[in-house]
């Protein structure tokens, strides 16, 4: 330890003696390390970190795929068919986002995080519990326009209500319609899409009231919803796919509406993707490839920075040859 302390003191004296060299070395290392830290933080948030929910590895993303491999959204009737006729899912929910005008105490704003419409099983399937109040139940999402209730995010609760407990039970106006705040989501929960945290979440059955010009919930040919599910314990992805495809084919066989006939459903099949990372593009192989390229590039930047420092030290050592020879000649240790 005595030798180590002596070396540290000597190193500090030499750095202080050559401020120009010290500044260049520190700046070079800071650029290389800073770029790597920033890029890894981004890749970690987008590709590595799972959703902050219970057992995220059990979550899967469902999507109908046509014969050309194009992924389609769900219509609400198709979501209901899969929900009611599956045997392999412990829970399933549909969701859709969109802008939402929020008015609190007469002060209106377009929510920075937007709004979100979800089916009644959204929070229970994800295993998310409210930190204040409660979340939705199946009864909140049975009849269109029947339950004007809302759950707000923790960030919105903090920003707009200063974490006031009385916010639960308060009436707010969404797109001009009164809603009652019934709960607040946990601080770490941001939803199922990385980088997007909805301020206000309302039941799917309130969508027609807030969006009179939007898609009709009962239109079998309007495919616009995202769907996520949780597999039952012990159920494999192959078993779930087979089960979902049976329900899908039954739905298509019963779809005799004009909307259903007008849509190309030949060869339509159901596909599952891992949902532990949410509905972000990070579940795609292309996203992992892109992340690997980014990490490789910043790793190269760090390598160049280290090589530059090594060159500086070699040049400095060459310039100090006479000094070091003199120190050795009068008995200095290495």
Q: How many domains does the chain divide into?
A: 2
**Do 96 and 42 fall within a single domain?**
no
Residues 120 and 170 in one domain: yes
Task: Say whether both 158 and 265 belong to one domain.
Answer: yes
What percent of the chain shows pLDDT beyond 90?
Answer: 54
Statement: residue 286 has pLDDT above 80? no
Alpha carbon distance 282, 53 (integer Å): 17
Once rounded to an integer, what is the mean pLDDT over residues 133-157? 93
Q: Higher confidence at residue 218 or residue 148?
A: 148
Range of the domain at 30: 19-49+285-328
Residue 11 lies in a domain: no
Which pLDDT score is estimated for 98?
Answer: 80
Q: In the numeric block, which tokens belong to residue 17?
A: 């003696």
Q: Does one domain contain both 213 and 322? A: no
Residues 312 and 239 placed together within one structural domain of the fold = no
Looking at the fold, whether 165 and 42 belong to one and the same domain comes out as no
**Single residue among 233, 251, 276 that ends a domain in this structure:** 276
C-alpha distances in angstroms, 278 versus 126, 160, 236? 11, 27, 19
Confidence of residue 298 (pLDDT cuts 50, 70, 90): confident
Same domain for 107 and 230, yes or no, is yes
Q: 17 CB contacts (<8 Å, ≥6 apart)?
A: none
34 and 178, same domain (yes or no): no
Rounded distance between C-alpha atoms, residue 170 and residue 183, angstroms:
10
Q: Has residue 311 been placed in a domain? A: yes
Q: Which is more confidently placed, 255 or 294?
A: 294
């Amino acid at each position: 330890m005595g030798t180590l302390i002596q070396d540290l003191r000597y190193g500090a004296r030499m750095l202080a003696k050559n401020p120009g060299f010290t500044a260049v070395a520190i700046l070079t290392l800071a650029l290389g390390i800073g770029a790597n830290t920033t890029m890894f933080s981004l890749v970690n948030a987008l590709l590595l970190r799972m959703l902050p929910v219970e057992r995220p590895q059990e979550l899967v993303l469902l999507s109908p795929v046509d014969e050309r491999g194009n992924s389609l959204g769900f219509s609400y009737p198709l979501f209901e068919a899969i929900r009611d006729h599956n045997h392999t899912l412990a829970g399933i929910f549909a969701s859709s986002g969109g802008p939402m005008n929020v008015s609190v105490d007469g002060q209106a704003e377009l929510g920075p995080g937007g709004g979100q419409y979800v089916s009644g099983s959204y929070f229970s399937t994800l295993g998310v519990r409210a930190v204040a109040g409660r979340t939705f139940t199946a009864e909140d999402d049975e009849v269109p326009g029947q339950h004007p209730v809302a759950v707000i995010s923790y960030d919105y609760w903090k920003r707009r209500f200063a974490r006031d407990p009385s916010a639960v039970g308060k009436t707010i106006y969404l797109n001009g319609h009164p809603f009652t705040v019934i709960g607040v989501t946990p601080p770490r929960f941001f939803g199922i899409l990385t980088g997007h945290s909805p301020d206000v979440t309302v039941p799917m059955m309130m969508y027609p009231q807030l969006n009179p010009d939007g898609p009709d919930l009962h239109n079998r040919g309007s495919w616009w919803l995202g769907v996520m599910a949780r597999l039952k314990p012990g159920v494999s992805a192959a078993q779930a796919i087979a089960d979902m495809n049976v329900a899908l084919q039954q739905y298509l066989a019963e779809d005799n509406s004009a909307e259903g006939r007008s849509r190309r459903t030949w060869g339509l099949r159901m596909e599952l993707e891992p949902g532990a990372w949410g509905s972000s593009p990070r579940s795609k192989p292309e996203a992992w490839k892109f992340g690997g390229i980014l990490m490789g590039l910043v790793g190269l930047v760090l390598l160049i920075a280290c090589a530059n420092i090594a060159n500086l030290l070699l040049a400095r050592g060459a310039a100090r040859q006479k000094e070091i020879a003199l120190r050795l000649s009068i008995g200095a240790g290495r």
